[in-house]
Amino acid sequence: MTTNTEQLTGQSILAGERTTGTGRTVNGYNPATNEPLEPGYSLIDTDQLKIATTAAAEAFDSFRALDPEKHAAFLEAIADNIEAVGEELVERAMVETGLPAARLNGERGRTTGQLRLFAKVVRQGDFRGVRIDPALPDRTPLPRVDIRQRKIPLGPVAVFGASNFPLAFSTAGGDTASALAAGCPVVFKAHNAHPGTSEIVGRAITQAVADAGLHPGVFSLVYGPGASIGQALVADPAIKAVGFTGSRSGGTALMATAAARPEPIPVYAEMSAINPVIFFEGALAEDPEGHAKAYLGSVTGSSGQLCTAPGLVFVPSGAAGDAFAKAIAPVTATSVGQTMLTEGIYTAWSEGVAALESQDGVELLGRGTQGESENAPAPAIFASGVKQLVNNPVLQEEIFGAASLVIRYNSPEELSNTLSKLEGQLTATLQLNDSDHQAAAQVLPILETKAGRILINGWPTGVEVGDAMVHGGPFPATSAPQTTSVGTLAIERFLRPVAYQNFPEALLPQPLATDNPWKLNRRVDGTLKLAGE
């Protein structure tokens, strides 16, 4: 398979202008062979970064004032442009990440789908949070003046591309889409593991900005080292919020920089989770071997490089649990390692597995075979006990990749006590049937305090993009557990409320005008009034 790289420039796009960086040049790598890919990408310096952040600040006022139809059409144009690229996008992403075409085609569909979903959100307008308390001049003992509230965008947002989702959590992914939908310009820092993919999508966004006649500072794509350009981006006074998906160390470093600014800003970081899955006796007894196969499929999908992969599984003691544990070895033996995203991620996986395997009380339940390509480790499943899990923090550390730990528990009380000692998680899953409802009810209050999404049956890998989804959770799963990075509620991260007291009609913003020109649903004197009423 060949990929046309002639149109790739290896340059950043700063407010619509292709710009050669003054720093060193880096290449993407094919993780299946460890061979460098052309072109090389020149890294910008902090002075060049300032071009992007200054332009974003200059673009803010006009961008946030867009009427809903033009704003929504802009988001749809980005989606159209990404689709118009054709197979070149998927082919480039394949060689940069080692991910298969089917996975990347699905990810492209998710990327364009969430852009169009946010276009609907913009047209519908509930995210503006309009509330109107009309004046009550005759109220006693004190009259009430007219007070109106809406939510406005925070300002320019810095977004960091994720290594494991070169499309859906990258250049035009969820953080970018929700920030643009909120009315915030975006300065996007590309992940150096898939620079060509980022450039292709960055061009699609830049073209949509130009075609809509928007200020070019609405979007910039920058290439640079995280330790300097990434930190400088978060520290820049023009930036008002940060979206990040990556490691706990990377996320907490950005959080520290954001908190140390003269004007601290929020960092919405999705970081680390082991996503516990809990089997109850009734469900497990029905088909322990089938459950073992489904478990392995969730652990090994995308080489385990999913933020919702089940890194920890609780299984009851007894015959059903024994059958499940016994089935792991033959099921895992049939698995073959898949190419991981980068050599660095492969190395970190290897070190994590070695550390886990060396702990007292940890045994190997099953191991697959190494893949034929580079960076394709053999999947591995381990087992240990409740005491070891609670007392040894190594057993609770995320291993990003195809590895997981099975924990046997002896009673519902022991299970509840153990779950209460876990860190925050993106997901928690209960495998149960009707006979397990009472046992499940005991742990649900605990899991509500630990996870952003609780599943009954099924497996946590795979995140639906919609209105009800929550992809978040208590630290260290995320830095802001009151928010989500997936679904329409993600737009709320980049908004803040403003009240307008005693404003004359001529000065009211359009969403608050008495005649409701944007046809918004609004809460008037505490009662929801639909746009048509």
Q: What is the 3-state secondary structure (H, E, C) of 452-484?
A: EEEEECCCCCCCCCCCCCCCCCCCCCECCCCCC
**Angle between helix 101-124 and 174-182 (nearest 10):** 10
- Answer whether residue 306 shows pLDDT above 90: yes
Mean pLDDT value across residues 250-265: 97
Phi, psi of 125 (to 5 degrees): 85, 5
Q: How many residues make up the chain in this entry?
A: 533
Q: Which helix (H) or strand (E) holds 242?
A: strand 241-245
Q: Which helix (H) or strand (E) holds 335?
A: none
pLDDT digits (tens, 9 = 90+) for 84-124: 999 999 999 999 999 999 999 999 999 999 999 999 999 99
Q: How far apart are CA 349 and CA 356, in angstroms?
A: 11
Q: What is the pLDDT of residue 227?
A: 84
DSSP string, 281-322: HHHHHH-HHHHHHHHHHHHHGGGG--TT---EEEEESSHHHH
- Answer whether residue 323 shows pLDDT above 90: yes
Q: What is the pLDDT of residue 226?
A: 81
DSSP string, 344-409: HHHHHHHHHHHHHHTSTT-EEEEE-B--SSTT-PPPEEEEEEHHHHHH-GGGGS---SSEEEEEEE
Phi, psi of 381 (to 5 degrees): -120, 130
Amino acid (one-letter) located at 411: S
Share of the chain above pLDDT 70, in %: 99
Distance from chain centroid for Cα 231: 20
Mean pLDDT value across residues 367-384: 97
- Kindly report the CATH number that applies to the domain delimited by 12-115+153-271+484-492: 3.40.605.10
- Answer whether residue 270 shows pLDDT above 90: yes
Q: How far apart are CA 264 and CA 290, in angstroms?
A: 50
- Answer whether residue 461 shows pLDDT above 70: yes
448: annotated active-site residue: no
DSSP string, 422-446: S--EEEEEEE--GGGHHHHHHHHHH
- Kindly report the CATH number that applies to the domain delimited by 277-456: 3.40.309.10
Q: What is the pLDDT of residue 1?
A: 34
Distance from chain centroid for Cα 136: 45
Phi, psi of 182 (to 5 degrees): -70, -15
Domain boundaries, the chain: 12-115+153-271+484-492, 277-456
Mean pLDDT of the chain: 96
Q: How confident is the model at residue 5 (pLDDT cuts 50, 70, 90)?
A: low
pTM of the model: 0.96
- Answer whether residue 269 shows pLDDT above 70: yes
Active-site residue, from 307, 398, 414, 448? 307
- Answer whether residue 487 shows pLDDT above 50: yes
Mean pLDDT value across residues 330-355: 96
Query: What is the layout of strands, in order, in the sheet containing 312-316?
Result: 363-367, 380-385, 403-409, 312-316, 277-279, 425-431, 451-456
Residue 405: strand pairing partners: 312, 382
Active-site residue, from 96, 270, 281, 398? 270
Q: How confident is the model at residue 532 (pLDDT cuts 50, 70, 90)?
A: confident
Q: What is the pLDDT of residue 6?
A: 57
184: annotated active-site residue: no
- Answer whether residue 361 shows pLDDT above 80: yes
- Answer whether residue 3 shows pLDDT above 90: no
Q: How far apart are CA 162 and CA 246, in angstroms?
A: 6
- Choose among 259, 266, 351, 337: nearest CA to 299: 337
Q: What is the pLDDT of residue 101?
A: 96
